[in-house]
């Protein structure tokens, strides 16, 4: 176990959140880290998708699949 210096308000907020959820502060921090990592992965995916948008044939096929022709 280690000590991580944080402002008192941050520590209080972490403790309050842990108490409200009935979990440890360690678990709160782990969940926040997991969420941050997930957010980073999705941001990278969004950036990759924006830099390589679908071509016209993909859009046409998507419209076909979403049309009433398959209904």
C-beta atoms surrounding 25 within 10 Å: 14
Integer CA distances (angstroms), 31 to 40, 43, 67, in order = 14, 18, 41
Domain definitions of the chain by residue range: 8-70
3-state SS assignment for residue 6: coil
At 49-61, the pLDDT tens digits run: 999 999 999 999 9
At 20-36, the pLDDT tens digits run: 999 999 999 999 999 99
Q: Tokens 């280690």 — which residue?
A: 2
Residue 5, pLDDT score: 96
Q: Name the strand (E) or helix (H) holding 36.
A: helix 25-51
Output 7 or 68, whichever has higher pLDDT: 7
């Amino acid at each position: 176990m280690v000590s991580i210096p944080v402002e008192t308000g941050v520590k209080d907020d972490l403790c309050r959140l842990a108490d409200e959820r009935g979990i440890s502060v360690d678990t709160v921090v782990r969940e926040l880290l997991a969420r941050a990592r997930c957010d980073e992965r999705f941001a990278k995916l969004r950036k990759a998708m924006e830099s390589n948008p679908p071509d016209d044939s993909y859009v046409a096929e998507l419209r076909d699949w979403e049309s009433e022709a398959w209904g």
